[in-house]
Amino acid sequence: MKNDYRVAGKIWIARGKETFLGYGRIKLLERIREHGSISAAARSMGMGYRHAWRLVDSMNKAAPEALVKTVTGGAGGGGAKLTGAGERAIELFWRIYKEMEDFLENETRDVKERLK
Amino acid sequence: MKNDYRVAGKIWIARGKETFLGYGRIKLLERIREHGSISAAARSMGMGYRHAWRLVDSMNKAAPEALVKTVTGGAGGGGAKLTGAGERAIELFWRIYKEMEDFLENETRDVKERLK
């Protein structure tokens, strides 16, 4: 039988009991960077605007300084952009995420060895 | 403000797309070892018998050899006990779980340093 055992996992950064940064939130930040607005970012992910807005608000409140700055009015009807703290949050998350992937790969090698 | 950032995570052992062993399943195996029956183990955790039985069946089918053996009939109306493979599965899971805890602690130290 095929040895398709693997160690799977999930990580996120919490603040107290609340999620601060997780995979979906980081993807949203990246889309905001790309699209320049929360509504366009949300739309591009098939996420409701209100949900996206709440996630951004939750991240901004949990962060030492805001990750996303919104700009109201103007020709384009307002937009949103990442701050330096937002860029650093993305980097920090992916670094930990990649270390987690390495960890899971190593454990998977061991588990495949034991479960056969 | 209190620095209560932390890196949180979850791990499980999967087989293909199915969960094989996770925290709750391992707790159930330990209760079966302690109580000698699936129904008593389930009751002790406030878990429904059918749910517990399905979890055991799923683990037994996904494992290289059964983790739990059921004994029908007899004075006690049947029971269940762990096999050697069941004991090894518990050990394997807790070892990985503890390494994961160490990983999360290290990452948390780093994150606290960066988010302040």
| Residues of chain B positioned with their CB less than 8 A from the CB of A92 | 111, 114-115
Judge whether residue B73 has pLDDT over 80.
no
* Inside any domain, residue A4: no
Point out the least confidently predicted range of A71-75, B6-10, B21-25, B38-42: A71-75
Q: Do the domain assignments include residue B3? A: no
- Show residues of chain A in contact with B16, CB under 8 Å: 4
CATH number at residue A37: 1.10.10.10
Could you tell me if B9 lies within 8 Å of chain A, comparing CB atoms? Answer: yes
Q: Which domain holds residue A53?
A: 13-114
Looking at every residue in chain A, the average pLDDT score rounds to 93
In this predicted model, what pLDDT tens digit does every residue of A54-88 receive, in sequence order?
999 999 999 999 999 998 766 655 799 999 999 99
- Cβ <8 Å between A8 and B14: yes
Number of domains within chain A: 1
Task: For residue A40, give every residue at least 6 positions away whose Cβ sits within 8 Å of its Cβ, in sequence order, or none.
Answer: A31
Cβ-defined contact of B100 to A15 (cutoff 8 Å): no
Terminal C-alpha separation, chain B: 9
Residue A103 lies in a domain: yes
Decide if B104 is inside a domain.
Answer: yes
Chain A residues within an 8 Å CB radius of B9:
9-12, 100
B63 in a domain, yes or no?
Answer: yes
Asked, for residue B4, whether it belongs to a domain, the answer is no
Q: Give the closest residue to A89 by CA, choosing from A15, A8, A37.
A: A15
pLDDT digits (tens, 9 = 90+) for B27-40: 999 999 999 999 99
Name the minimum distance, in Å, from the CA of B95 to any CA of chain A: 10
| Contact yes or no for B6 and A14 at CB 8 A | yes
pTM of the model: 0.89
Number of Cβ within 10 Å of residue A1's Cβ equals 6
**Is there a domain that residue B7 lies in?**
no
Minimum-distance CB partner of A9 among B4, B9, B92: B9
* C-beta of residue B111 within 8 angstroms of C-beta of residue A13: yes
> Could you tell me what percentage of chain A is helix, strand and coil, using 3-state DSSP and rounding each to the nearest 5?
55, 20, 25
Q: Is residue B18 part of a domain?
A: yes
